[in-house]
Chain A
Amino acid sequence: MTEPLQGDPNPSGDAFAQRLEAARKKQGMDPTPPAPADGDTQPSAMGVGARVGVELVASMIVGVGIGWYLDRWLHTSPLFLVVFVFLGGAAGIANVWRMMKPKG
């Protein structure tokens, strides 16, 4: 308690907890912080590559599946398949973009 905190309505509450946490961190007493906060663990190049690949393939599978099924249902082969292959590809790119874009 070296300097009093001005304007803090609750000097012994949150501020103390914060300072305690900061002090503990500085002393290395909390070994847990590296828990990753976003959807990914430490993004190794291999891991990112695998995720991107899976994402692209998965969207393409869904797109082709929908297109193929619509065609079979409506007897419009190959109209919907062609359309949904492109839409599936676009969705894959959109997913990858959402995955890689800086968190805002």
Chain B
Amino acid sequence: MAAGEPSIDALGQFKLTSSLGPLGASVNFSQSNLMMLIAAGLILALLYYGMKPKAMVPGRLQALAEIAYDGVMGMCTDQIGHEGKRFFPFVFTLFFFVLFGNLLGLLPFSFTYTSHIAVTFSLALVVIVLTTVVALRIHGLHFFTYFFPDGAPKLLAPLIIPVEVISYLSRPVSLSIRLFANMVAGHVMFEVFASFIVMLAAAGTFGVIGAAGPLALNVVLMGFELLVAFLQAYVFAILTCIYLHDAVHLH
């Protein structure tokens, strides 16, 4: 333990710093915002350059763009029904924004904007406001029967209605916590194991051999995190679809 006291700073990686030099600092343009812009640019580039050839037999990039489109379209129509096509742009945007945030965060020197509860909760809030507005527009005040199921005895109304309201309001909370917690947990584990490598390597020859353990673990973890990145984006999108289904069909 030569250079200072090495400690594991697992949460320092989530700290926001301003990017783009003095201009970014003056408007509080953080690296998180920068990554969001990069993600948005990459998504647009994928669709634009992917679909540019318009080939009958798609190349690799075009196949990727088509799978992206088909996958989200299938998700919408399977979950919501044929009305789901109207929500396709929203779900597509949401899915790819989250997916690219998760995936870009796995690159070295980048930042995972989905690891901030502020970001994920904002996204979840957009989802819940949209579903509520959609439900109110389609069903009008009939929407409020959602909070009191049909066959329930009237006597239980003071108990059921608050529970249903809380359950409805907990949707954005659980939606955002799930994504945020998964991303934070993954990146904290990366940091912890990476710190083990450095600390062991600093402890002499024997430690260098031992450092292979956490290194191997981090390699495995990277594969696992790729899965989690995709899965959480998928879960976020599919739950959005399910909530939209509830809003459209109301039951």
Contact = CB atoms under 8 A, between A and B. Distances in A.
B83 interface: no
Given A54-B178, A61-B170, A62-B173, A41 B162 contact: no
A50 B174 CA distance: 11
Contact of A88 (B74, B164, B166, B171): B166
Interface string B20-58: 000000000000000000000000000000000000000
Nearest to B162: A87
A91 B79 CA distance: 24
B163 interface: yes
A61 B173 contact: yes
A49 to B, nearest CB: 12
Among B79, B164, B167, B171, residue most surrounded by chain A Cβ atoms (within 10 Å): B167
A63 B166 contact: yes
Given A37-B78, A90-B163, A91-B164, A55 B239 contact: no
Interface in B220-251: 231, 234-235, 238-239, 242
Contacts of A57: 174, 177
A35 B152 CA distance: 35
Contacts, number: 62
A64 to B, nearest CB: 10
B181 interface: yes
Contacts of A66: 166, 169
Contacts of A91: 163-164, 166-167, 170
B174 A55 contact: yes
A94 B167 contact: yes
Interface residues of A, number: 23
A41 B74 CA distance: 15
Nearest to B185: A50
A51 interface: yes
Contact of A62 (B79, B170, B235): B170
Contacts of B182: 50
A54 B166 contact: no
A62 B169 CA distance: 7
Contact of A51 (B159, B178, B238): B178
Interface in B146-173: 159, 162-164, 166-167, 169-171, 173
Interface string B182-204: 10000000000000000000000
Nearest to B176: A58
B78 A58 contact: no
A54 B167 contact: no
Interface of A: 35, 37, 39, 41, 50-51, 54-55, 57-59, 61-63, 66, 84, 87-88, 90-92, 94-95
25 contacts: A35-B78, A39-B79, A41-B231, A54-B174, A55-B174, A58-B170, A58-B171, A58-B173, A58-B177, A59-B173, A61-B170, A62-B166, A62-B169, A62-B170, A84-B166, A87-B162, A88-B166, A90-B159, A90-B163, A91-B163, A91-B166, A92-B167, A94-B164, A95-B167, A95-B170
Given A35-B74, A90-B163, 12 more contacts: A35-B78, A39-B242, A54-B177, A54-B178, A55-B174, A58-B174, A62-B170, A84-B162, A87-B163, A91-B166, A92-B170, A95-B174
